[in-house]
Amino acid sequence: MNETLSSSSVNKQLSKVEKEIEALEKKKSKLVDMRLEDVIDSETYEYKFSSLTSKQDELLSEREKLQTIAMNEKDIKRRLQEFKRTLEQNEVLHEFDRYVFESIVEKVIVGGYDEDGNIDPAQLVFVYKTGFKNSLDGNRFKPIRKNARGNRKTNELCSQTNNEVQSLSSHSSSDTCGSYSVDTKDINLEILYFKQFYKHFVFEKDEEGYVKKTQKNYMDVRVVLQLV
């Protein structure tokens, strides 16, 4: 995470563009002096001045874009710092931050093989951008059902009605549905549970055992963080 917080090439690019804009401004000023002293003729002056102005306009446009990116990066870094502080203090994450998660995690592999070589669809493998990997058994962290008796607590998981699902984007959503902590024998984990909304097809068995193709509008995602 420290590497993510410190690494940024946007500010370097912005500094380079600023210097190029300043250099072009000096060339334009020098060109004006040369014209006033009749060192160059009017036609040459107009051609060179127009060329310098065109390059400068391009750089000004690029600078504006880089400034916007730099502001966005600054906001993401602030959220990363808050995320890091929360983990260090073992606090509960009440909201899932998609951009912060994507800044740290390269990918999440759902499914794999157990120690005996058998297919394990519940296995979750987190691959971080630092190259570090860790795998967990998703079955150990099943969320408590919202409608289960005696489980209506503060950390209840949210649900979506059919109408709400239809109104949401078919691509993705970064909103969280809930979070809670699990203390194991050797490690302390933070589990975030949210829904990733996108339309896809799955194959399921019906009551008679026949496999049928069913369209789903979202996927339940569980993110397990090891607190240190």
Verify that 175 and 127 share a domain, yes or no: yes
Which two tokens mark 226? 């090891």
- Give phi and psi for 85, each to the nearest 5: -60, -40
Pick 152 or 132 by higher pLDDT. Answer: 132
pLDDT at 193: 64
To 10 degrees, the CA torsion angle through 71, 75, 81, 87? -150
Q: Are 102 and 192 members of one domain? A: yes
Q: How far apart are CA 129 and CA 40, in angstroms?
A: 56
For residues 158 and 137, membership in a common domain is answered with yes
- Confirm whether 119 is domain-assigned: yes
| Boundary-marking domain end, from 88, 109, 135 | 88
Domain co-membership, 28 together with 117: no
Higher pLDDT, 105 or 174: 105
In this structure, the answer to whether residues 104 and 162 fall within a common structural domain is yes
Q: Given 88, 108, 124, which residue is the final one in a domain?
A: 88
What single letter denotes the amino acid at residue 25?
E
Lowest-pLDDT range, 11-15, 93-97, 99-103? Answer: 93-97
Q: What is the mean pLDDT of residues 107-116?
A: 76
Cα R_g (the chain), whole angstroms:
28
Note the Cα 143 to chain centre separation in Å: 24
Q: Average per-residue pLDDT in the chain?
A: 70
Q: From its phi and psi, is residue 38 left (phi > 0), alpha (psi between -120 and 50) or beta?
A: left
Burial environment of residue 193 by CB neighbours within 10 A (0 to 12, 13 to 18, 19 or more): buried
What ranges in the chain are assigned the alpha helix state H?
2-6, 10-36, 42-88, 98-104, 162-167
- Residues 83, 120, single domain; the answer is no
Could you tell me if 178 and 212 lie in one domain? yes
Quick one: pLDDT at residue 97? 65
Q: How many structural domains comprise the chain?
A: 2
* Section 22-41 average pLDDT: 93
Specify whether 148 is located in the same domain as 193.
yes
- Single-letter amino acid, residue 11: N
The answer to whether residues 109 and 56 belong to one domain is no
pLDDT tens digits, 33-77 = 999 999 999 999 999 999 999 999 999 999 999 888 888 878 777
Q: Count Cβ atoms below 10 Å from residue 194 Cβ, excluding itself.
A: 23
Q: Which residue did the predictor score with more confidence, 205 or 89?
A: 205
| CA angle (32, 33, 35) in 5-degree steps | 65
115 and 177 assigned to the same domain: yes
CB-CB contact of 126 with 214 (8 Å): no
- Global pTM? 0.39
List C-alpha distances in Å: 164 to 156, 168, 169: 18, 6, 10
Mean pLDDT value of segment 24-33: 94
Q: In which domain, by residue range, is 178 found? A: 98-227
- Residue 93 in any domain: the answer is no
What's residue 27's pLDDT? 94
pLDDT bracket for residue 25 (50, 70, 90): very high
The fraction of the chain above a pLDDT of 90, given in percent, is 21
3-class secondary structure, 102 = helix
Higher local confidence (pLDDT), 150 or 53: 53
Question: Do the domain assignments include residue 49?
Answer: yes
Which of 31, 65, 88 terminates a domain? The answer is 88
Asked whether residue 69 falls in the same domain as residue 156, the answer is: no
Decide if 105 is inside a domain.
yes
CA distance linking residue 93 with residue 90, whole number of Å: 9
pLDDT of 43: 93
